[in-house]
Structure 1
Amino acid sequence: MTATQARPTGDVALRVDGLWKIFGPGAGKVLGSPDAELSRAELKERTGCVIGVRDVSFEVSPGEVFVVMGLSGSGKSTLVRMLTRLIEPTAGTVEMAGRDITAASESDLRDLRRKHVSMVFQHFGLLPHRKVVDNVAYGLEIRGENKAQRRRRAMEMVELVGLNGYDQSYPDQLSGGMQQRVGLARALAGDPELLLFDEPFSALDPLIRRDMQNEVVRLHHELRKTMVFITHDLAEALKLGDRIMILRDGEIVQVGRPDEVVGSPADDYVKEFVSDVPKSHVLTLKWVMREPTAEVSPDAPVLQSDTVVREAARAVLAHKGAVRVAEGDRIVGVVDDEDILRVVVAEER
């Protein structure tokens, strides 16, 4: 699936079109010249410039969790910082809910960062001399909200992220996971339209990291915020993302739903990425179903095609015979225990 095919239709919360970032002297002269077609290594050798992001375009729908992943140096952190112009793009446009961010004035950018977009970084950036509730309320203080209003909102966010009873603690009295919860609460306090996460959990221990991933899933279900989440961890991307964009050397390799990335990798690079993924946890029935046949009983159970194989296994294995697979009210295929076991057995090889 190409990036264009994977774009959502309808309302758009975030639109990125033809975004470039080239670092180095004379970076602006590279665009439009033959040098722009060079690989990252060739361009650096010839001009001394480095391509951070190359001609990236994508759209994010309201309420979607859009994950950008890639190895170190793939351009993902540069990309997320360009969305709010913490790093200035060399070329291209960024629009949020119809607002052209790349053409915004300094005052408009400040308003955007204070009221409409929040970022959560790997390094928490908490103020050590302020208590939890005051750290959470800091953005509201910058906005100019009165003390009573910002404290009330901060306490709501403290409760939302599960830090009840810690509002009067200082950051150095909290674990790493708890500090990141403070960062989440601070990001949510201003009720932003868009949340940007730049590898927020990569420094946490594995168990705490899993807890924080679950927290993001829970908060998304409750608040339905639009999220762009940066990670180098495929398991994290598959767990959190409605769609995943994979970058390599600043370029898009593939965009798709988790099952599309695992079931139909765009090239050997993506195929290697997903080679160790337990496919029964990601692939849906549409990837394993067969054409419907007349022999299948019209009374056979019906499962939707977007049901994950692992979740469907119990119903399929419990039924004697094939189970029907549907998209809405339309039967589109059948699946039986052999189809399920084929996926499970392949994982054990």
Structure 2
Amino acid sequence: MTSTDTTVSTPSAPAPVAGTGTPALSVRGLWKVFGPGAEKLVGTPDLRLSRKELQAKSGHVIGVRDVSFDVAPGEVFVVMGLSGSGKSTLVRLLTRLIEPTAGTVLLDGTDLTAMNEEALRDIRRRRISMVFQHFGLLPHRKVIDNIAFGLEIRGEDKAGRRARAQEMVDLVGLSGYEQNFPDQLSGGMQQRVGLARALANDPSVLMFDEPFSALDPLIRRDMQKEVIRLHHEVGKTMVFITHDLDEALKLGDRILIMRDGEIVQIGAPDEIIGAPADDYVRDFVAEVPKSHVLTLKWVMREPASPEEGVGAPTLRDTTIVREAARAVLAHQGPVRVVDENGTFIGVVDDEDILRVVVVEEQ
């Protein structure tokens, strides 16, 4: 995909995520063009120009170009790209911290782009929470009061908000630090306060804008594990912005890769690694250990007959190659692979497994 072959036609709806029903978040034809009178450019041939060409012609800059996607309820949806790709602009458009030039954003079917300011403020207080890179904690307030701040703004009584804040303190592992001030905490602990504050409002969607970028690598890894744990416990829909591919692969149920404000590819981690959309994505993922991400559906082969592998161990097609290696290598002969319904769909043997591992080592 190049930046010069984009059209301004109405985008087709992305394929829904299987079995998810109504999307938690639905984005259609979202544009952000920076510059005076940018809305007048919508629907004109000028928006077919590349970023550089449009800026040279009119002084306008395209931040996000014709983006459409759905996020399923309970999904961790990661938006990633390099600096300048438009990912942080995109997450701000989703909550109208930046006003879209065109397009719609629906939260559980409700059109955020059509709301007045009062209704939008209520949505931000009750149904969407954000976690930022630089924490955004109030330095003069203790941990418990920082966590309860959103509930205070919402008008809840002191006893109720303190009780809820204490629940969140315990959930994120900060018990015993309730009375500390932010500057008495490490960076990782401060970000836990930010997580607790976001969760305290019991939002429909949590949005993370590169929340761990400022943390040391070890602390960052701990916080990634914390997000995974919290997601398993509370099951919130999450939109996570990052420039780090390893982080995206670790956290994301699906990943959206951006470049120059456009979508390059959307897919599950194994789809991004196993079937990159173009050379840009292929180069992006070239150093990823494929056995850590690819599932058996990418390495299995069709059985020679319905009886092949009868009596052998059975593995799901979604099993990561690395996790399947022990069972496959220990068995003399092919192992059967089944889909989510238990239907026999393929076989995999030690050669199939070693082919992935050997390629990684070359």
1:279 partner letter = K
Whole-Å separation in 1 of the counterparts to 2:169 and 2:31: 38
Give the structure 2 partner of residue 340 of structure 1: 353
The runs of at least 4 aligned residues of structure 1 exceeding 3 Å deviation read: 2-7
Cα shift readout 1:8-54 (whole Å, capped 9, x = no counterpart): 25221000000000001221222111111000010000000000000
Residues 319-338 of structure 1 correspond to what in structure 2 (within 5 A)?
A: 319-327=331-339, 328-338=341-351
For 1:259, which of 255, 263, 270 is the aligned residue?
270
Give the structure 2 partner of residue 145 of structure 1: 156
Which SS does the other structure have where 1:188 is aligned? helix
- Range with bigger deviation, 64-73 or 20-29: 20-29
Distance 1:267 1:6, change over 3 A: farther
RMSD of aligned Cα (Å): 1.2
1:17 partner letter = R
Residues 96-115 of structure 1 correspond to what in structure 2 (within 5 A)?
A: 96-115=107-126
Shift of 1:297: 3.3
Whole-Å separation in 2 of the counterparts to 1:179 and 1:344: 40
Paired positions, count: 348
Aligned partners of 1:43 and 1:50 also within 8 Å: yes
For 1:276, which of 282, 287, 296 is the aligned residue?
287
Whole-Å separation in 2 of the counterparts to 1:127 and 1:164: 19
**Unaligned 5+ residue runs, structure 2?**
1-10
Whole-Å separation in 1 of the counterparts to 2:174 and 2:112: 34
Shift of 1:3: 8.8
Residues 288-303 of structure 1 correspond to what in structure 2 (within 5 A)?
A: 288-294=299-305, 296-303=308-315
Give the structure 2 partner of residue 205 of structure 1: 216
Whole-Å separation in 2 of the counterparts to 1:164 and 1:235: 30
Distance 1:102 1:3, change over 3 A: same
For 1:308, which of 304, 308, 320 is the aligned residue?
320
TM-score (norm: length of structure 2): 0.94
Which SS does the other structure have where 1:46 is aligned? helix
Whole-Å separation in 2 of the counterparts to 1:81 and 1:235: 23
Residues 193-232 of structure 1 correspond to what in structure 2 (within 5 A)?
A: 193-232=204-243
**Unaligned 5+ residue runs, structure 1?**
none
For 1:166, which of 156, 177, 201 is the aligned residue?
177
1:238 partner letter = L
Whole-Å separation in 2 of the counterparts to 1:5 and 1:287: 23
TM-score (norm: length of structure 1): 0.98
For 2:166, which of 133, 137, 155 is the aligned residue?
155
For 2:191, which of 175, 180, 191 is the aligned residue?
180
> Percent identity, aligned pairs only?
73
Whole-Å separation in 2 of the counterparts to 1:313 and 1:263: 18
Give the structure 2 partner of residue 7 of structure 1: 16
Give the structure 1 partner of residue 7 of structure 2: none
Shift of 1:98: 1.1
Whole-Å separation in 2 of the counterparts to 1:72 and 1:138: 32
Which SS does the other structure have where 2:287 is aligned? coil
Which SS does the other structure have where 1:124 is aligned? coil
Cα shift readout 1:102-159 (whole Å, capped 9, x = no counterpart): 0001110110000000000001010111100000000000011111111110011011
Which SS does the other structure have where 1:289 is aligned? coil
